[in-house]
Chain A
Amino acid sequence: MRRTRIARATWPQPSNGPHRVACHFCDTLHEAPAVPEGTAARCRRCGVVLYQNRPASLVRTTAFSLASLVLIGITHSFPFLVMKSNGLQTELSLYRAAHELIREGSVVIGCGVGVFTTVAPLVMAVGLLYVNAPLLWGRAAPGARVVARWTAHTEPWNMTEVFLLGVLVSLMKLGSMAELVFGVGFWAFAGLMVCMAAAVAGIDRNELWDRLEVADE
């Protein structure tokens, strides 16, 4: 943890120190010096990552959250899967996956599926973009702190990767009884999964909040 080397590139630090960090896992208190780009500071007691300095963090997060937003648009405009059976044809879309459950009377699960696959990714993409893009110019958007908090709270409920596994399992289940064709929506959703993971991993929490604090000073 204690480094004597001065970081080559670091993020701006707020003026009202002392800068300390408590391990979220074991509560050990550390001084929090800047670490070089691409490295992480680990807890001296339990070894958990305390914070890390991501290379080109703001640019990455902004770019990937913007890409996520575009992919969400595409995913909702094109079908995921098209199923043909006995001359009939049905389409799977994210909207239908939630809406058909609600129509069949399973309101709670339908809303859950809607939140996990549509609302949460949208909140994440918009939230990350709204907070990070103005920080590129050293500014904090109005209400950025509230948005940053809610974006972080939404993260565990974004289940794009799990839904994608669900699509694959369904494919195996139906493969024998019908003809199934992947649509553009499916590939856009797969891309969304990757971009969303990259956007979330793009910036460290401590860096984001230090930057927000500096922007308001």
Chain B
Amino acid sequence: MSDHLPKAIDEGLAGCHSCGKVSPAALGRCPRCGSSLHTRKPASVQRTVAYLLGATALYIPANLLPVMTMTEWGDVMEPTILEGMVEFWRREAYPIALVIFVASIMIPLIKIVALGWLCAAATGRVKPSPRVLGRIYWLTELLGRWSMVDIFVVSILVALVQFGTVMTVSPRSGALAFAGVVVLTMFAATSFDPRLLWDQLDLGENSDTIPPQTESE
């Protein structure tokens, strides 16, 4: 390409992920802040996929198991996340139902699919445009935390609704599975190295002119 911009890795340099200082990767540790220094995050794709598989496995019990037990005058209700949402919808609280649907059902799914797709792109299995990739990565980093809202709702209800025989709320195992999904997708997002996407892009661009480099971490 006409303007080939230099990359840190080509000069054996690495930008510290913690303080930003550019140092020779051979140092192993950042001379400024002491973080370990890598040109690319080690085993990034493998670790991301492992976290994603864990999150996917937990996503099923997270949605099938009840997140809490509500006892009101002896009546016992054990809603799952989806049933909690449907209850809001039935009571015509549409905005809240929508918030729960997006935060608890959609975001974890979108995150798992998007990160899986980014892993496929980082290993050259799909070849999308870099702009799209940037948006998707930014989105997965931004949205993930909001899924935690249902866990906080459980914690708030458990703390507030303690009226002895009249009405009580206690947590159930679905909440644990759900919190696991959120935390695992957050780990998956931080293990992923977006620079791999650009490496793939350069590999594709250079392949017609010069033989592909045998670059390995």
A→B interface (CB under 8 Å): 20-29, 44-48, 51, 81, 83, 85-86, 88, 90-93, 96-101, 104-106, 108-110, 112-113, 116-117, 145-146, 148-149, 152, 156, 159, 162-163, 165-167, 169-170, 172-174, 176-177, 205-206, 209, 212-213
The residue of chain A having its C-beta at the shortest distance from the C-beta of B18 within the complex is A149
B171–A106 CB distance below 8 A: yes
Interface residue? B47 (CB, 8 A) = no
Q: Smallest CB-CB separation from A81: which chain B residue? A: B160
Binding site for A on B (CB under 8 A): 5-9, 11, 13-15, 17-22, 32-35, 39, 88, 91, 93, 96, 99-100, 103, 130, 134, 137, 145-146, 148-164, 166-167, 170-171, 175-176, 179, 183, 186, 190, 194-195, 197-199
B152 touches A163 (CB 8 A): yes
Other-chain contact of A169, B18, B33, B153, B197 (Cβ < 8 Å): B153
CA distance A177 to B72 in the complex (A): 11
With contacts A27-B198, A85-B163, A112-B179 known, is A159 near B145, CB below 8 A? yes
Nearest Cβ on chain B to A146's Cβ, whole angstroms: 8
Cα distance A20–B16 when bound, in Å? 12
A156 → B minimal CB distance (Å): 7
Once the chains bind, are A27 and B7 in contact (CB under 8 Å)? yes
Kindly provide the distance from the CB of B7 to the nearest chain A CB, expressed in whole angstroms. 5
A110 and B155 contact, Cβ closer than 8 Å, known pairs A81-B160, A83-B161, A170-B160 = yes
18 residue pairs bridging A and B, Cβ less than 8 Å apart: A21-B15, A21-B20, A22-B13, A26-B198, A27-B198, A45-B198, A85-B163, A90-B161, A90-B163, A109-B175, A113-B155, A159-B145, A159-B148, A165-B99, A165-B152, A173-B88, A173-B157, A206-B20
Contact A213 B32 (CB under 8 A): yes
Complex interface: chain A residues within 8 A of B148 (CB) = 116, 159, 162, 166
Q: How far is the CA of A205 from the CA of B33 in the complex (A)?
A: 12
Q: Contacts A21-B15, A109-B179, A172-B93 given: A90-B160 contact, CB under 8 Å?
A: yes
Of A48, A112, A152, which one neighbours B18 at CB under 8 angstroms?
Answer: A152
Which one, A83, A93, A108, A165, contacts B149 given CB within 8 A?
Answer: A165
Contact B96 A86 (CB under 8 A): no
CB contacts (< 8 Å) of A112 on chain B: these are 151, 179, 183
Q: A83-B160, A92-B156, A166-B156 are in contact. Are A209 and B19 (CB under 8 A)?
A: yes
Known: A25-B195, A83-B161, A209-B32. 20 other contacts (CB 8 A): A21-B20, A24-B195, A27-B7, A27-B8, A27-B198, A28-B6, A47-B134, A85-B166, A93-B159, A100-B155, A100-B159, A101-B171, A106-B175, A110-B155, A112-B151, A146-B34, A149-B19, A169-B149, A177-B167, A209-B19
Instruction: Give A56 to B21 CA distance when docked, in angstroms.
Output: 23
Give the contacting residue for B194; candidates A25, A92, A174, A176; CB below 8 A: A25
**A99 proximity list for chain B (CB < 8 A):** 159
Chain A residue at minimum C-beta to C-beta distance from B88: A172
Contact of B14 among A22, A23, A148, A206 (CB under 8 A): A22
Q: Is the CB of A113 within 8 A of B151?
A: yes
Instruction: Compute how far the CA of A29 lies from the CA of B197 in the bound complex, rounded to whole angstroms.
Output: 16
A149 touches B96 (CB 8 A): no
A110 to B6, CA, bound (A): 48
Max chain A CB contacts within 10 Å: which of B33, B130, B134, B158? B158
**Contact, CB under 8 Å: A97 / B163:** no
**Chain B residues near A152 (CB-CB < 8 A):** 18
Q: How far is the CA of A145 from the CA of B157 in the complex (A)?
A: 40
Chain A residue numbers with a CB within 8 Å of B14 are 22
Question: Inside 8 A of A25's CB, which chain B residues have their CB?
Answer: 134, 137, 194-195, 198
